[in-house]
Amino acid sequence: MNRTVFLKLNYIFVLIFIYLPIFLMVGLSFNESKYFNQWTGFTLQWYEQLFQNQNILNALYNSMIVATVSTFLSILFGFGIALYLFRVKNRFTSFVEKFIYVPIVIPDVTMAAMMLVFFIFLSNYLEIKLGIATTIISHTAFNISFVTVLIGSKLTRKLRVLEEVASDLYANHFQVIKQVTLPFVMPALLASVILSFVLSFDEVVISMFVTGPGSTTLPVYVFSMIKKGVTPAVNSVSSLMLIFSLILVTGVLLLSRKDNLK
Amino acid sequence: MKKSLVILLAIAMISCSTGSTDDAVASCTIGSVDGDLNLYNWAEYIDPELLEEFETTYGVSVNEDFYTSNEEARTKLQSGVNAYDIVIPSDYMISQLIQDDLLLTLNFELLPNFSNIDPDYTYLNYDPENLYTVPYFWGTTGFGVNLDALGVEEVPNTWGLVFDQELRETYGITFTLLDDSREVLGAALKYLGYSLNSVDETEIEEATQLLKETQDAIVAYDSDQFEDLIISGEINAAHGWSGDFFALFYELEDQYEDVYSSFVYLIPEEGGVRWTDAMVIPSGSSSICTAHTFMNFMMDAEVAAQNAEWNAYATANSAAKEFIDEEMLADESIYPSDEVVANLEFIEDLGEVNEIYENKFFEAKSSN
Amino acid sequence: MTRNKLNNILGLPGIIFLSIFFFTPSLFIFRYIFGSRTRTGKTSFDKIYFDSFSQLLDFNVVPIINKSVVTAFFVTLICFIVGYPFAYYIKKLSTTMKYFSLFLISIPFLTNFLSRTYSWKILVSKNGLITKYVSMFYDVSSLLFTDFAVVLGMVYVYLPFMILPIFTSLENIEDSLLESAKDLYANPFKAFYYVTFKLSLPGVIAGVVLTFIPSLGAYIIPQILGGSKSMYLGNFTVLQFIQASNWPLGSLVSLIILLFMVFAINLLFKFEGQRNL
């Protein structure tokens, strides 16, 4: 077979493969029947139900808070570590460089269990209850690594040269960061924002262990809904999340374009 | 260094108020509230309208969180770092929670509606002195069959449909079993004529072997979606909880001329599981008065009746029965006859032996 | 001097956070391994127990490990076979199309992972689209609750993890290099292999790690698409932590998985180090 034809077919095949379940999901969210194997007509009732379901709305709200705060914290911490690893080279940093991968590769369940155990341990000394805060902490703990690795991959020799030139010109290190480093890593930074937001927004297993009263996140709620027999409300909430994320990503991309034009 | 760590932790976390439980109970009166209610429940196990009614009547809000198995609830409760006020676990789990000292003793003076409860459902073996629990619902575990899909009008009422290869093949049964060690091995034990609370290792081993032989015929172990699987025709029978099947039949009523001749819920004649779920207050609760008030509210005859109709499970509230639809009360698969009940057993907490069940179930599942 | 101090301070907050909220918790795994499950499912620490080790031997975990590794291997292989040509193809597209394609394959990330997996359940069930297609070639009535469904579900979820790093490393190859390769090797396949493929290896390795690792520890996909009839490492761990409430054994299995992965990362670093030389 011709090489280009093969590549093109593969490309189309992958896209169909990726979109098949998504179209199915969106389609079913408009299905009047509660059961997926029969199409009885078009309806918006599941969306209406969604907005009347206080549990889903609360869960959505919790997820937003957790994802936003943990993204903010992990960018703050992760960016710092990435710069540190880039600029300082010693035994400690080469250890950190490797250790930073552990939160990425650790199985969800293990991390979930150890976070829970840790919070139990802390509760002997401090007044802690499982809730939004423990969820944010746990999400931040795995997100930092993703941010560090992602930004770290952008910190190359090219940047070092640029920074050196800049530090000859500017006296202040913060100016170097602001004028040179930040614009240079901007694409990676934006990618990290999206990645950590999405990772947190979609996390189930760890959240299942560390959420507490009133802090159930959306995926945990959806999981219990699925466990209890799926109503199309699951599809409609996922379709809405899709639209919401599309807006978010497009917004971030457009903003970054504007920045680049400047 | 240590100090700064502690400060950092303190900043990073929100702290909650401490509460000495005994004092709190002492200051409660009937119908008093001392904060919002954190309810930890099975999904779709309470009529949401009743929660709203409770909220408006008492001016507190209810946070509902969900677990998908008794064991998941145990993990959270054992952690001790939760603040749930009401949990509704099942019998055998309650006795474990009591042993671990994770539940508060109730103040029955705050629960006048407790007199509505059928005495058959109090002082049960999981809480012999009835200090910790107020029954919520009871039900059975059985076998739901799609007769239409099998092309027959009835099937023999036996666990042989699962465990007897010949019978299985005669009827062409494809089925799922619950993903639960005690339920599945319990069914096998019953089929073999043993107690489902057997602590005899050879009996358990025999049941395990039986399950292993059945392994190839089992489509999946599934506690959650067997209703969907039956509807989609993936399977034509399932091992499951009574209420789930009735909810399913109810929903299918408009699609079938006579859903009750197309589907049947069986409690096999060898006997099976009878379970109770009961409301308890975990020891981490910070709104103990509200929790008592909630329990009392749920035991109100009309409230309990509304909840029973919504859930299609059997209520343990005898005063509620006069408000429940008669057809539902007459339905023997929801409220089985005394003869059938005599054949049923509660799943008991077996202590050390629990783990044997868990491990044997795992062994059978991962065979082949 | 001040500059070094400043650089050190940059990393400090994050490192402190991770030491408290990741490193310290991870030490608890060791504590739990040497505990013992009490009859109600709590863990007692009154002395050092070795229960978890003997239980691990009692359980026949070898087939589970085998199954998980084989599954993860196939998932990774399929992702690579499909993902590499995809990344290669979009690298050659125009800038707009390139980013649009990347955008297209990132979208699945943005919807609920559970609903996506649930959609697959429908597709492979009786009368599902995929089942209908496959049944044209093989005699099957339903693919649900088979290993095939599990592999398919995992490939679906982890494919973007393979494509994105490969694409990034392909993007970093300068076009002039490819040009000179064409001149150097008459055979276009050789030119591809010795230049493009070799230079994209870091991306390939990253992709392999990023798909292999989560497939090895996956829990929800085997649960939903496998019907919990076939046991994988992820399910086994969850079973120990939740259903059996045997935290010592759960911790031991976790540690084994973790060590395996740390070993893989070290290998990766060694490999990268050599390449840089």
Q: Is the ipTM of this complex over 0.95?
A: no
- Looking at the complex, report in whole angstroms how far the Cα of residue C254 sits from the nearest Cα belonging to chain A: 6
pLDDT at B184: 95
Structure tokens at B55: 């909220």
Is residue B64 scored above 60 in pLDDT?
A: yes
d(CA B139, CA B346): 10
Higher pLDDT, A69 or B80: A69
Contact B228 A211 (CB under 8 A): no
CA distance C265 to A109: 20
Task: Closest CB to C120: pick one of A8, A21, A87.
Answer: A21
**Cα separations (Å) of A66 from A83, A118, A195, A207?**
25, 19, 14, 10
Chain C residues whose CB is inside 8 A of the B355 CB are 37, 39, 244, 246
CA–CA–CA angle A190, A58, B31 (5° rounding): 155
Residue B23 has pLDDT above 80, yes or no: no
What pLDDT does A256 receive?
65
Residues in chain C: 277
CATH fold, domain B139-272+343-365, is D-Maltodextrin-Binding Protein; domain 2 (3.40.190)
Compare C171 and B144 and report the one with higher pLDDT. B144
Return the exposure string of A44-82: e unless at least 16 CB atoms fall within 10 Å of the residue's CB, then b. eebbeebeebebbebbbebbeebbebbbebbbebbbbbb
pLDDT confidence bin for B115, thresholds 50/70/90 = very high
Tell me which range, A38-42, A119-123, A134-138, C66-70, is most confidently predicted by mean pLDDT. A134-138
**Within a domain: A213:** yes
Predicted pLDDT of residue B1: 41
Residue B2 is predicted with a pLDDT of 45
Indicate yes or no: CB of B220 within 8 angstroms of CB of C127. Answer: no
- Is residue B65 a contact partner of residue B39, using CB atoms and an 8 Å limit? yes
Which amino acid is present at B110?
A: L
SS3 of residue A70 by DSSP: helix
Is residue A17 included in any domain, yes or no?
no
Q: Which residue has the higher pLDDT, C174 or B104?
A: B104
pLDDT tens digits for range A83-93: 899 888 889 99
The mean pLDDT value for B177-196 works out to 93
Q: Which of C108, C118, C113 is nearest to C149 (CA)?
A: C118
Over residues B6-19, the mean pLDDT reads 38
Cα-based angle B347, B91, B76 (whole degrees, multiple of 5): 115
Contacts of A107 in chain C (CB under 8 A): 216-217, 219, 233-234, 237, 254, 257-258
CA gap A174, A186 in Å, rounded: 16
Average pLDDT for residues C1-7, to the nearest whole number? Answer: 67
In the predicted model, is pLDDT for residue A66 greater than 60? yes
| Optimal mutation site among B72, B126, B232, B363, interface C, most CBs of chain C within 10 A | B232
Q: Residues C49, C129: contact at Cβ < 8 Å?
A: no
Residue B195 pLDDT grade (very low, low, confident, very high; cuts 50, 70, 90): very high
Q: Which of A231, A230, A201, A233 is nearest to A218 (CA)?
A: A201
Q: Classify the C-alpha dihedral C260-C262-C264-C267 as positive or negative.
A: negative
Give residue A228's pLDDT band: very low, low, confident or very high (50, 70, 90). low
What does the pLDDT read at residue A229?
Answer: 63
Contact call for A88 and C8, based on CB within 8 A = yes
Judged by average pLDDT, the poorest of B6-15, C51-60, C224-233 is: B6-15
Task: Decide which of B145 and C107 is more confident.
Answer: B145
DSSP code at position C22: I
Q: What is the pLDDT of residues B147-182, one digit of tens each?
A: 999 999 989 999 999 999 999 999 999 999 998 889
Average pLDDT over residues B295-313: 93
Inter-CA distances, C185 with B91, B347, C88, C153, C270, Å = 75, 74, 19, 40, 30
Q: Of how many residues is chain A composed?
A: 262
* Residue B10 pLDDT exceeds 90: no
Of the pLDDT bands very low, low, confident and very high (cuts 50, 70, 90), residue B12 is: very low
Minimal CA separation from C239 to chain B, in Å: 9
The Cα of C63 is separated from the nearest Cα of chain A by a number of Å equal to 19
Domains of chain C in start order, with CATH, are 59-276 (1.10.3720.10)
Of B8, B99, B362, nearest to C40 by CB-CB distance is: B99
CATH no. for residue A173?
A: 1.10.3720.10
User: With 90 as the cut, is the pLDDT of residue B316 above it?
Assistant: yes
pLDDT confidence of residue B104: 94
Report how far residue A166's alpha carbon sits from residue B238's, in angstroms, rounded to the nearest whole number.
71
Q: Is the pLDDT of residue A135 over 80?
A: yes
List chain C residues with CB under 8 Å of B96.
40-41
| Lowest-pLDDT range of A235-249, B28-42, B71-85, C259-273 | C259-273
Percent over 90 (pLDDT), chain A: 26
- Give the pLDDT mean for A195-220: 87
Q: Which pLDDT belongs to residue B25?
A: 63
DSSP letter string, C130-146: HHHHHTTTS--S--TTS
Compute the distance between CA of residue C248 and CA of residue C32 in angstroms, rounded to an integer: 5
CATH 3.40.190.10 region(s) of chain B?
Answer: 24-132+276-335, 139-272+343-365
According to the model, what pLDDT value does residue C187 have?
Answer: 79
d(CA C212, CA A239): 29
In chain B, the percentage of residues whose pLDDT exceeds 70 is: 93
Q: Judge whether A16 lies within some domain.
A: no
Lowest mean pLDDT among A13-17, B92-96, C12-16, C127-131: C127-131
Structural domains in chain A (count): 1
C3: exposed, middle or buried (C-beta count within 10 Å: 0-12, 13-18, 19+)? exposed
Cβ neighbourhood burial of B181 (10 Å; 0-12, 13-18, 19+): buried
Residue B319 DSSP symbol:
G
pLDDT of residue B199: 94
Local confidence band at B17 (pLDDT 50, 70, 90 cut-offs):
very low
Taking 80 as the threshold, does the pLDDT of residue A189 lie above it?
Answer: yes
Phi, psi of B135 (to 5 degrees): -65, 145
* B73 to chain C: closest CA residue: C242
> What mean pLDDT is predicted for residues A125-151?
91
Report the topology of domain B24-132+276-335: D-Maltodextrin-Binding Protein; domain 2 (3.40.190)
Cross-chain residue pair A126–B14, CB shorter than 8 Å: no
Query: Cβ separation of C258 and A105 shorter than 8 Å?
Result: yes
Asked if pLDDT for residue B290 goes beyond 70, the answer is: yes
- pLDDT grade, residue C113 (50/70/90)? confident
The per-residue pLDDT for B8 is 42
Does residue A24 sit within a domain? no
The pLDDT score that the predictor gives to residue C3 is 65
Q: Is the pLDDT of residue A137 over 90?
A: yes
Å between A253 CA and nearest CA of chain C: 10
Q: Which residue has the higher pLDDT, C161 or A70?
A: A70
pLDDT tens digit sequence for C28-51: 888 899 998 887 778 888 888 988
Say whether residue B332 is in contact with chain A using an 8 A CB cutoff.
no
Question: What confidence score (pLDDT) does residue B15 get?
Answer: 33
Strands B237-241 and B314-315, by their bridges, are: unpaired
- Structure confidence at residue B6 (pLDDT): 45
- Give the tens place of pLDDT for each residue, B226-275: 888 888 888 999 999 888 888 888 878 877 778 888 899 999 999 999 99
Q: From chain C, pick out residues whose CB is under 8 angstroms from the CB of A118.
A: 21, 24-25, 28
Residues of C with Cβ-Cβ distance to A108 under 8 angstroms: 217, 219, 234
Per-residue model confidence (pLDDT) at position A10: 93
Query: What mean pLDDT comes out for the span A192-197?
Result: 85
A1 part of a folded domain: no
More confidently predicted of B348 and B232: B348
Task: Summarize chain A as % helix, strand, coil (round to 5).
Answer: 80, 0, 20
Q: Which domain holds residue A201?
A: 60-261
Reported as a single tens digit per residue, the pLDDT across A140-176 is: 999 999 999 888 877 877 788 888 888 887 667 778 8
> Binning pLDDT at 50, 70 and 90, where does residue C277 land?
very low
Structural contact between residues B150 and B263, judged by C-beta atoms closer than 8 angstroms: no
- C122 contacts A14? CB cut-off 8 A: no
Chain B residues in contact with C130 (beta carbon < 8 A): none
Question: What percentage of chain C exceeds 90 in pLDDT?
Answer: 20
- pLDDT of residue B11 exceeding 60: no
Sole residue written with tokens 């398919």: C152
Confidence at A213, pLDDT banded by 50, 70, 90: confident
